[in-house]
Structure 1
Amino acid sequence: MLSVKTLGGAVATQARRPRGLVPEIVTALEADMQGGRLLPGDKLPTESALMARFEVSRTVVREAISRLQAAGRVETRHGIGTFVMAPRVAEPTFRIAPEDFATVADVISLLELRISLESEAASLAAQRRDEASLASMGAALAAFEAAIHADSDAVPSDFQFHMEVARATGNRHFADLMTYLGTMIIPRTRLKTAGDAPEGRLAYLERVHHEHESIYRAVRDRDAEAARAAMRTHLANSRERLRRAQTSENSAAH
């Protein structure tokens, strides 16, 4: 039998399993940490004390401590001892990668996220914009118009316009998120939305340009509600165009 003595002196008797001693010791020590009997910064008992407590060999104790080290629960300071570490903070899990744009449904999902974020960004931009940010938005508009008449998909200037709106908020987090997402937020980078538009590429892009102009005018006029509505309309129109395309594809498949 394996007797496991708790820090408080109580004894729990468990069946000795030749290959299960290390996990049992790891579990018991983690329970001590979670229960507050071993706090971050506390020094673990010596190897000899742990050998006596768990009635195991030095090799088993060292293997258990090695596993705790690998899990980031303890650290050994040579010549001093082994100390409990604070629990690791979970790493951020939010991520939008190119593979998340594999289908029309994926692109629609991102547009729904953009509608909530960029509509508010446009409203803030209208309230906070200065002449420099307005000039940058105007330059992006001009570049978009030039691109669509040069047989281009106008993706860089399209993204730049949305980026300048985000920057005009004066809140760096909006611009940081746009930078993180990059040009892949523009549906045309993932799908042939312009080429497949019923009205043709040029008419499609000119409509997008007019929607951008509506946003620009509202920001220029410092009309926060109009700017929010114009951005929402612009992105919602993109979403609806994609939904119609998705419905057509599904109908053709059946």
Structure 2
Amino acid sequence: MLPPSTPSAPPRRRRSRSLTQEVVDGVLAQIKAGELKAGDRLPTESELMHLLGVSRTVVREGISRLQAAGVVETRHGIGSFVLEPDLRANFHIDPNDIVTIHDVLDVLQLRQSMESAAAGIAALKRTQHDIDALNTVLEEFQQLLESSKETVDADFRFHLAIAQATGNRYFVEFMSYLGQMVIPRTRINTASLGKETQARYLRRVHNEHQEIASAIIDQNPLLASQAMERHLSKSAERLRASLETKETATQDA
């Protein structure tokens, strides 16, 4: 099923948003509006590509996130179909609820335990394919940084690649479920919290990613876990410092 009107040309993308998340949001919006119901087949990959103006890779990643969230199932050779909502699935994080520093900190706290463990496991289980995937996304991040382009998708795919390197599908499903929520700067201006320029902030993020990847490639689980913990802790420290400053200013007002 396609929406009533299909644009003749792909719309211009807003750099601040994840293209993959746009696929997810588009399908969820159709389900919420009743345009797609349980049992309905999703538009084909080609239809979604034309409708949203994105690549096949982006469409497939979006469908994977919807699968991980239990929204759709894919039947080989037939297509992807909307599932009945599982009323027993109580765990849910709505991206629209992640709007304050408190919200972002809560998600970061959840990630610190999960991703630090994932990095250590990835160091033990990584394959050559995983090494290639990590190096590829690091190179892409560097290229985007040098050309002053948006790095959110590459940032997310780095963390997803680590989850995939664990060989544990539950880590992958958890990261896919969170999607771009794992990147704090999609919710707030994290660079400004640390009094840095955006470029300097992103260079530091890239350096931290390289440290994590090096430990995983060297099969050092302790260093990998510690590097991931430091990476996420630095984000949390900036958020807490900003929060304390705001609360102090409110009390003095």
TM-score range, shorter chain: 0.5 to 0.7
- Is the CA contact (8 Å cut-off) linking 2:126 and 2:165 kept in structure 1? yes
C-alpha distance in 2 between matches for 1:169 and 1:239:
24
What 5-or-longer segments of structure 1 have no aligned partner? 1-88
Match in the other structure for 2:204: 207
- Count of matched residue pairs: 166
Q: Does 1:132 align with 2:135?
A: no
* Residue type of the alignment partner of 2:137: A
Match in the other structure for 1:116: 113
Match in the other structure for 1:222: 219
* Residue type of the alignment partner of 2:108: L
Match in the other structure for 2:25: none
SS in 2 for 1:237: helix
* Residue type of the alignment partner of 1:218: A
What 5-or-longer segments of structure 2 have no aligned partner? 1-85
Match in the other structure for 1:175: 172
Of 224, 233, 236, 1:236 maps to 233
* Residue type of the alignment partner of 1:249: K
Q: Does 1:106 align with 2:100?
A: no
Higher relative contact order (CA 8 A, sep 6+): 2
Match in the other structure for 1:40: none
C-alpha distance in 2 between matches for 1:228 and 1:196:
25
Match in the other structure for 2:246: 249
Query: Deviation digits for residues 141-188 of structure 1, max 9, x if unmatched?
Result: 111112222223411100000000000000011011111110121001
**How far did residue 201 of structure 1 move?**
0.9
Q: Does 1:158 align with 2:138?
A: no
Of 104, 128, 143, 1:146 maps to 143
Q: Does 1:198 align with 2:189?
A: no
- When the two structures are superposed, what TM-score results if normalisation uses the length of structure 2? 0.63
* Residue type of the alignment partner of 2:92: R
Query: Deviation digits for residues 80-115 of structure 1, max 9, x if unmatched?
Result: xxxxxxxxx971200011133121001001000000
Of 88, 91, 104, 2:88 maps to 91
Match in the other structure for 2:17: none
Paired-residue identity, % = 40
Query: Deviation digits for residues 27-76 of structure 1, max 9, x if unmatched?
Result: xxxxxxxxxxxxxxxxxxxxxxxxxxxxxxxxxxxxxxxxxxxxxxxxxx
C-alpha distance in 1 between matches for 2:198 and 2:249:
22
| Greater C-alpha Rg | 1
C-alpha distance in 2 between matches for 1:233 and 1:132:
26
**How far did residue 195 of structure 1 move?**
4.6
C-alpha distance in 2 between matches for 1:251 and 1:145:
38
RMSD: 1.5
SS in 2 for 1:194: helix
C-alpha distance in 1 between matches for 2:216 and 2:108:
21
C-alpha distance in 2 between matches for 1:147 and 1:90:
41
- Is the CA contact (8 Å cut-off) linking 2:193 and 2:238 kept in structure 1? no
Change beyond 3 A, Cα 1:150–1:250: farther
C-alpha distance in 2 between matches for 1:235 and 1:95:
22
* Residue type of the alignment partner of 1:136: A
C-alpha distance in 1 between matches for 2:150 and 2:190:
10
C-alpha distance in 2 between matches for 1:114 and 1:236:
10
Please identify runs of 4+ aligned residues in structure 1 that moved more than 6 A. none
* Residue type of the alignment partner of 1:128: K
